[in-house]
Amino acid sequence: MLSFFVPDLKTEEGRKQREKNWRNIMQQEFDLIYVGDFDYLAIEKMSVFERRYFYELLAKTKEREKEQREEQRKRVRGQRSSGGKRTGKRGKSFRSRI
């Protein structure tokens, strides 16, 4: 009797699913090592649930950092646009002198 969670390797679909699962695991391990600064041996010793938890935590953290960068970028753009035109020595805008 085959498990519901283990693909049947006798079919092409089962082999593709197994390869997809393997690639997902490798991608998680790579991200944890490269971005999360984990040690490869530490990841190999982790249970599936630990690895998945740390991967999800890393993904959430990176998403929050990305959102914070976007908010900061919007604030900086807002400050630049609300400051008015920059003028040169003669009172003309900087763009009109170029």
95 secondary structure, DSSP code: H
Which residues, 6 or more positions from 17, have their beta carbon under 8 angstroms from its beta carbon?
Answer: 7
Indicate the number of domains in the chain: 1
Q: Is position 86 within any domain?
A: no
* Residue at 24 is within a domain: yes
The two tokens of residue 77 are 């753009």
| Residue 97 pLDDT level (bands cut at 50, 70, 90) | very low
- Structural domain includes residue 3: no
SS3 87: strand
Q: In 3-state terms, the chain is what percent helix, strand and coil (to 5)?
A: 70, 0, 30
Q: Give dist(CA 43, CA 13) in Å, integer.
A: 29
Is 57 inside a domain boundary? Answer: yes
What pLDDT does residue 94 have? 46
> What range defines the domain where residue 48 resides?
12-79
In a domain, 94, yes or no: no
Give the tens place of pLDDT for each residue, 18-56.
899 899 999 999 999 999 999 999 999 999 999 999 999
**45-93 pLDDT per residue, tens:** 999 999 999 999 999 999 999 999 999 999 888 887 766 555 555 555 5
